[in-house]
A and B are shown apart, each in its own frame.
Chain A
């Protein structure tokens, strides 16, 4: 009779012991699978949070290391400006989701009829960002503005304009309307043709002055506008350095990687970093990261504790089971069955149970993982037990099970058959 048949007969005829180990394995595997799913949901949530915290770094001219000059009734820094090549080079670093750099001015806009596009201010000028990519403009990233119609201004757009819903409604403008922009209509500044590509809504609380008004400009947010950087450069062509980029914001895909991304950026040798300052903007992430890492640590610890306690429990039960089979071991050895064949029979018995328990645990964990996840503040639908979790648990669980049987068998197998049998007498 081979060991496979012996293993099957033992599992079937000692069904109470088999059921005990089966239910134990089922419970442990279900818990571990659920734990892994919760840990993944936690990681996903953390990643998502890291991605949406608007973590960025700003590259700006270092005025303290540049020279100064005077003219037009004031003094000006001669420090180099941020070039388009610099922007491209920095943006190509891995981990950067996008960037924006803008030139700010206060131009006027005119409808096709020649009428001025009016504002609620003392003049009809708009506080305008000549932006490369408005999606990454701080006002949109921070959530103070929300694009509600049309599209954002992108790098390949040359004459796009985005205005607020209030100004659009007040002036009868919509996405697709044509306007003409002039930086200062009282001079010979050029007229630049533009098209409204998007409408934004001010989300910031209108009663909260701190968020409703730009502290530095005191402009009403509804009188803000965004135009393509190319269009702004065209409008400001008469203003020398006024149409050059002084600073740019780069957003990272993972807030946790901000430091390493900045390090990589600062290792770009073609940029003279003596002329620029890099500042990290990760206040929001810093505020949530400690609570994120606390929850992650809690989930990880729980999984480790559950797995460790479970393994100890399994080893104890298998150890007790194998000790109770000392007599059988002695008999099998006495009738000439080799030690490896006896151990292999015990291993096979455990694996036979695992073959049934593991897939059932996969199914049961799909049911309970969501419920358990809610205890850790996760939405049940986000806690998903995947086939990868199952494979991991099946392989590691199988190895641990074999190890548990081997460890449990050591004390018996070190004895000679006579010692085992005489202990039984």
Chain B
């Protein structure tokens, strides 16, 4: 049973350049979705539309069968989705525990400790943490919100390989063990490899590249693994 449903969604910048053309997709809880695509193809825009940060030019987005435009975008952002951004987007005058408390009434410390932050680090100013630690705080904020859908925009984009893998593991765990619907926009093949479903956004259209059964990692298609020059030749 899908929790998010995207129907014929279209979007254009300034009513001129059409970046999304009748996009359709369904997303379920307990799965990790990856959206791939070249820069500027509209991946982040699609994620923003799913998360209610913007409204589509045409089409509808449903959460649990209800049109989010009708139930209210602010309400959708507050109750249904949680964001993880590439730039972390933490409030800089709050500590990690306070950032997590922005969206949740749960005690923040256990979540932060589970994501690898010590008690002392959890009380520091967020700007005094490393990139990886800041991203963990952002993930903790998303998880603590208890929203069933987590939307992550390039969550490993600014991180080194080891930290990126840690974050990927956390996202996978969020989907598979915490029954969240995790949607990740990424350029990272490593991350995409570990997704349950991989979408590719191209020329404004969304295609399902691979469907992985039971969360098991599968090799990605050769087209996506091929070098850039080779891809251009296709």
Contacts and interface: CB of A to CB of B under 8 A. Distances in A.
B93 A335 contact: no
B49 to A, nearest CB: 8
Nearest to A417: B53
Interface in B81-95: 82-83, 85, 87, 89-94
Interface stretch (A130-138, A208-216, A243-251, A326-334): A326-334
A6 B95 CA distance: 12
Interface stretch (B72-80, B168-176, B188-196, B198-206): B72-80
B93 A417 contact: no
Contacts of B90: 331
B29 interface: no
A9 B94 CA distance: 8
A331 B134 CA distance: 14
Contacts of A416: 53-55
A340 B98 CA distance: 21
Given A10-B93, A418-B54, A335 B101 contact: no
B87 A425 contact: yes
Contacts of B94: 6, 9
Q: Would you list the 10 A-B pairs with minimal beta carbon distance, nearest first?
A: A336-B78, A418-B53, A336-B77, A418-B54, A418-B48, A13-B93, A417-B53, A1-B101, A331-B89, A335-B103
Interface in A369-425: 416-419, 421-422, 424-425
Contacts of A10: 93
A331 B85 CA distance: 10
A218 interface: no
B176 to A, nearest CB: 24
8 contacts: A13-B93, A328-B92, A331-B89, A334-B51, A417-B48, A417-B53, A417-B77, A424-B87
Contact of A335 (B48, B77, B92): B77
Contacts of B54: 416-419
A339 interface: yes
A150 B180 CA distance: 100
Given A328-B91, A334-B89, A335-B83, 19 more contacts: A1-B102, A9-B93, A9-B98, A328-B92, A331-B91, A333-B74, A334-B51, A334-B53, A334-B83, A334-B85, A335-B82, A335-B141, A336-B74, A417-B53, A418-B48, A418-B53, A421-B89, A422-B44, A425-B87
Which of A13, A327, A334 has the most chain B CB atoms closer than 10 A to its own CB?
Answer: A334
B145 interface: yes
A328 to B, nearest CB: 6
B77 A334 contact: yes
Contacts of B82: 335
Contacts of B141: 335
Contacts of B48: 417-418
Contacts of A328: 91-92
B80 to A, nearest CB: 9
Interface residues of B, number: 28
Contacts of B93: 9-10, 13-14
B69 to A, nearest CB: 13
Main secondary structure of the interface of A (DSSP, over half): helix
A337 interface: yes
A418 B101 CA distance: 22
Interface of A: 1, 6, 9-10, 13-14, 327-328, 330-339, 416-419, 421-422, 424-425
A335 B145 contact: yes
A337 B78 CA distance: 7
Contacts of B101: 1
A334 B141 CA distance: 12
Interface in B78-127: 78-79, 82-83, 85, 87, 89-94, 98, 101-103
A328 B85 CA distance: 13
Nearest to B72: A338
A75 to B, nearest CB: 98
Nearest to A425: B87
A90 to B, nearest CB: 72
Contact of B89 (A6, A14, A327): A327
Nearest to A11: B93
B187 to A, nearest CB: 15
A338 B74 contact: yes
B77 A333 contact: yes
B77 to A, nearest CB: 4
Nearest to B89: A331
Interface string B53-64: 111000000000
B61 to A, nearest CB: 14
Interface string B141-173: 100010000000000000000000000000000
Contacts of A422: 44
A334 B85 CA distance: 10
Nearest to A331: B89
Most chain B CB neighbours (cut-off 10 Å) among A6, A330, A331, A338: A331
B175 to A, nearest CB: 20
A88 B45 CA distance: 88
Contact of B102 (A330, A335, A419, A421): A335
Contacts of A331: 89-91
Contacts of A13: 93
A338 B101 CA distance: 16
A337 B101 CA distance: 12
A10 B92 CA distance: 10
Nearest to A341: B74
